[in-house]
Amino acid sequence: MRVRLSIVGSDYPLPPGAAATMPNPLWRLTWALSEIKGDNEDIRIPEFYDAVEGPSRADNIVLRQIRLAEADRLRTWQSRAFLFDLSGAPLTRAEVTLPTCNLSSLVCEPGDSGGAVPAAASATLDFQLVPAQQPQHILTMLREHLIARGFEDVQVEALPGGYPAIHSSAEHPQIARFAALIADDDLPLLLPAGPFSLPLHPLAEHFAAPVAALGVGTASGAAYGPDEHVRLATLLDHGSLLLRLMADLTRQDAYATIAPR
């Protein structure tokens, strides 16, 4: 779920000296953002975590077996450590089971005001939610929280491109078949969830179909970077596995596990 927060000050930038007597939209927005997430990474919206459920026993078994390519990530991303020095199973669990609130942009207008008090400011937040959290409910809670904290002047706008989170049980017969095929290729275990957004919710919600995503990217692929790439050999292996998966789905017994509501 993507959200834009915006606040408008005067009709045009004001002289720097006016900061003593006129509100600064950028400061107001900064203070509003501090009410949403603290420096301990905890999201401060009341009841935000109430719907968050821990992973199932089956999911926990998988999570304990998975080890992310930590050294490769840190080296590629030129970072010294993960948040709170997370590593091993706790790092995997945090990445795939916890909701997030990411600040992806902060803009003031005009961008180069030469020291003037800006006329307006906006910020973009990206929420990665877990299955039990409903985007519209989180949006309503965000608006109510800002009003309760005295930020009635901050406008909250939902942006396109977000999808509700979904989860298919690892114990579902079709997911088990999928995991077995991956294991045959000596690939990593199937994660219970992932830190990405895909429009798979209609399949799970309206057709009761199990869903799984087969990614091809790696930490060294520089996703979102100007040199984002996938190695040719990896792409060919990915295509080969997709063909085997589709061949497996054409078997009559594979469809027997999927029944519309």
- pLDDT tens digits, 49-64: 998 887 778 778 778 8
- Written as one letter, the residue type at 8 is V
Locate 241 and state its tokens.
């596995």
For residue 64, give the H/E element and its range.
helix 57-65
What residues pair up with 117 in beta bridges, in sequence order?
14
pLDDT digits (tens, 9 = 90+) for 106-135: 999 887 767 889 999 999 999 999 888 889
Dist. CA 174–CA 179, nearest whole Å: 9
d(CA 161, CA 2): 7
Q: For residue 102, report the phi and psi dihedrals to the nearest 5 degrees.
A: -105, 130
Q: What is the pLDDT of residue 232?
A: 87
Question: Domain 2-52+98-159 belongs to what topology?
Answer: Alpha-Beta Plaits (3.30.70)
C-alpha to C-alpha distance for 200 and 75, rounded to whole angstroms: 32
Three-class DSSP category at 246: helix
Residue 178: burial class (beta carbons within 10 Å; 0-12, 13-18, 19+)? buried
Instruction: Give residue limits of the domains in the chain.
Output: 2-52+98-159, 173-255
pTM higher than 0.75: yes
- Where in 141-233 does DSSP place strands (E)? 155-159
Q: Which residues of 128-150 are buried (b: 16+ CB within 10 A; e: fewer)?
A: bbbbebebeebbebbbebbeeee
Give the bridge partners for 159, in sequence order: 2
CATH of domain 173-255: 1.10.150
Asked whether this chain's domains 2-52+98-159 and 173-255 adopt the same fold, the reply is no
Tokens matching residue 105: 């942009």
CA torsion angle 202 207 213 214 (round to 10): -130
Which residue's entry shows tokens 């299955």? 131
Q: How high does pLDDT run on average in the chain?
A: 84
For residue 241, how many other CB atoms are within 10 A of its CB?
A: 17
Q: What is the pLDDT of residues 186-240, one digit of tens each?
A: 555 677 777 677 777 777 777 778 887 777 777 777 777 787 888 888 888 888 8
Q: What is the pLDDT of residues 60-88, one digit of tens each?
A: 877 887 778 888 889 888 899 999 999 98
Q: Per the structure block, which two tokens stand in for 38?
A: 């603290």
pLDDT at 229: 83
- Cβ 133 vs Cβ 22: under 8 Å: no
> Which of the pair, 26 or 227, is modelled with greater confidence?
26
**In the chain, how many H helices and how many E strands?**
9, 4
Both tokens assigned to 141:
């809670």
Confidence (pLDDT) at 241: 82
Give the pLDDT score at 113. 63
Distance CA 232, CA 239 (A): 11
d(C-alpha 100, C-alpha 37), whole Å: 10
